[in-house]
Structure 1
Amino acid sequence: MTKVQVLVADDHGVIRNGLKKILDDTPDLEFAGEACDGWILLEKVRDRHWDMLILDLSMPGRNGLELIKLVKEAQPQMPILIFSMHQEEQYAVRALRAGASGYLTKEFDGDLLLSAIRKVASGGVYVSSKVAELLASDISRPQNAPPHTLLSNREFEVFSRLARGISLTAIAQEFSLSIKTVSTHKSHLFDKMGMTNQADLVRYALNHELLDEEPDNLRMQHSSTI
């Protein structure tokens, strides 16, 4: 039997080792390679063919939605399953738009992960019932859609980091951008969302369940104002 050659990209060794054990214990799948950051991943996908990629969205170097597009440019036919800590409301629809074939959060069990891997590897698309609803809402998005859905992918990534209290300097370093460029993205997303300050942005993110957890430095402020 020809095994599906799976490349795993995640910056946490525990996750990579856990996926290796699951894949190596499965007769039709093989843990064929790994990458701990975006740069190594791009080297690997440009170096040889892989049957599929399991990708974490948050890694050092190149990461996020832009990384999906770069991987698809290198290997257009390779299916990508996003395996992320970020909840579906945050990135699922955008990841699928960028070229991923499935989205699964890390809270799901091993059996569901294997089902998702097999479906994506065979050329299908894996989405949970919640993601299916999000996709349906996105397709029929009304004119009064939530403002965050109108942001570009880069604006949304800047938005999500600002909401978690990450500084402009750190965001610029993460995406290899100038602080001026990040500041421009911040200005544009504030205009699109009708916001004037950081507190507005955090409240919005919390109310729309766009944060994995509430930022420690703003939890007290949120509890006293919402």
Structure 2
Amino acid sequence: MSIEVLLVDDHALVRTGIRHILDEAPGLTVISEASSGEEAVEIAREKQPDVVLMDVNMPGIGGLEATRKLAHVAPDVKVIVVSVHAKDPYPSRLMEAGAQGYLTKDCSGDEIIAAVKKVHAGERYLAADIARQLADSLLSGGKGTPLDQLSQRELQVMLMIIQGHTVQSISDKLFLSPKTVSTYRHRLFQKLDVDNDVGLARFAIRHGLLDESAMDSPPETQ
């Protein structure tokens, strides 16, 4: 029986490239594509693919929240993250959220195929550099950066702020009250020792969570 795969990425060209790789692999079938976390959750709930290849930075709730939601609404669906982000906190937090694998977008087609097959078989699959990083973090007690003190929800709110979402937008997408989102925002400022959203964006750039070009249009959360 063929392994059914859902591709999730907001860039159509990336989805096309991965689909071409998987279509050439015996025993793998791409059954659908999604361009946002919300769309991924709905398609996975409806079609129940075997494996989801999940991007992280996307419009809407993004890959972290989508992975967390899939663990609840489609617990049999296995998630492999495919991201440009190789540095923590992304790998550790995505695995905590329920992902069974983590690849970087510079991996080979053969590695994507191998990851899909291993994760479908019930194993975890981590790119070699990701595995080393997580091992180093474990040995050091996981206290490498100020980001380690953030909860899953705080990190999710932070990622949405630095992507330019307003408090109301975050409230709508995460089903939280604006007051609760504002509370998370102020906790972030305190924990990360920043004064505003621009400071938060600069912090994110220093820690590899945001590309420096994003500062051309800094987030303005209201």
Question: What is the deviation of 1:143?
Answer: 8.4
| 1:133 aligns to 2:132 (yes or no) | yes
Tell me which residue corresponds to 1:149.
148
Question: What is the deviation of 1:208?
Answer: 2.7
**Quick one: which amino acid aligns to residue 208 of structure 2?**
E
Tell me which residue corresponds to 2:115.
116
**Quick one: which amino acid aligns to residue 68 of structure 1?**
T
Tell me which residue corresponds to 1:20.
19
SS for the counterpart of 2:125 is coil
Question: What is the deviation of 1:130?
Answer: 2.6
Structure 1 residues 144 and 127: alpha-carbon distance in aligned structure 2, compared to 1, 3 A threshold: closer
SS for the counterpart of 2:4 is strand
Contact 1:46 1:74 in 2 (8 A): yes
Structure 1 residues 137 and 196: alpha-carbon distance in aligned structure 2, compared to 1, 3 A threshold: farther
Contact 1:4 1:28 in 2 (8 A): yes
Equivalent positions of 1:41-120 (< 5 A) are 41-120=40-119
Structure with larger Rg = 1
* Residues in 1 aligned to 2:142 and 2:22: alpha-carbon distance in whole angstroms: 44
- TM-score of the superposed pair, with normalisation by structure 2: 0.81
> 94-103 or 180-189: which moved more?
180-189
Question: What is the deviation of 1:69?
Answer: 1.9
Question: What is the deviation of 1:151?
Answer: 0.5
> Residues 117-174 of structure 1: CA distance to partner in whole angstroms, max 9, x if unpaired?
2222222111123322332244345486421111012222333444566654555565
Question: What is the deviation of 1:56?
Answer: 1.7
Contact 2:137 2:143 in 1 (8 A): no
* Residues in 1 aligned to 2:109 and 2:16: alpha-carbon distance in whole angstroms: 13
- TM-score of the superposed pair, with normalisation by structure 1: 0.79
Structure 1 residues 72 and 199: alpha-carbon distance in aligned structure 2, compared to 1, 3 A threshold: closer
* Residues in 1 aligned to 2:65 and 2:17: alpha-carbon distance in whole angstroms: 26
| 1:210 aligns to 2:218 (yes or no) | no
Report the number of matched residues: 218
* Residues in 2 aligned to 1:138 and 1:64: alpha-carbon distance in whole angstroms: 22
* Residues in 2 aligned to 1:56 and 1:16: alpha-carbon distance in whole angstroms: 10
> 74-83 or 198-207: which moved more?
198-207
Question: What is the deviation of 1:68?
Answer: 0.9
Question: What is the deviation of 1:57?
Answer: 2.3
Contact 2:65 2:156 in 1 (8 A): no
Structure 1 residues 116 and 147: alpha-carbon distance in aligned structure 2, compared to 1, 3 A threshold: same
* Residues in 2 aligned to 1:155 and 1:42: alpha-carbon distance in whole angstroms: 21
Structure 1 runs not aligned, ≥5 long? 220-226
Structure 2 runs not aligned, ≥5 long? none
> Residues 72-122 of structure 1: CA distance to partner in whole angstroms, max 9, x if unpaired?
222223221111233433411100111101111223232222222222222
* Residues in 2 aligned to 1:132 and 1:41: alpha-carbon distance in whole angstroms: 26
* Residues in 2 aligned to 1:63 and 1:213: alpha-carbon distance in whole angstroms: 20
Structure 1 residues 46 and 162: alpha-carbon distance in aligned structure 2, compared to 1, 3 A threshold: closer
| 1:185 aligns to 2:162 (yes or no) | no
Structure 1 residues 140 and 214: alpha-carbon distance in aligned structure 2, compared to 1, 3 A threshold: farther
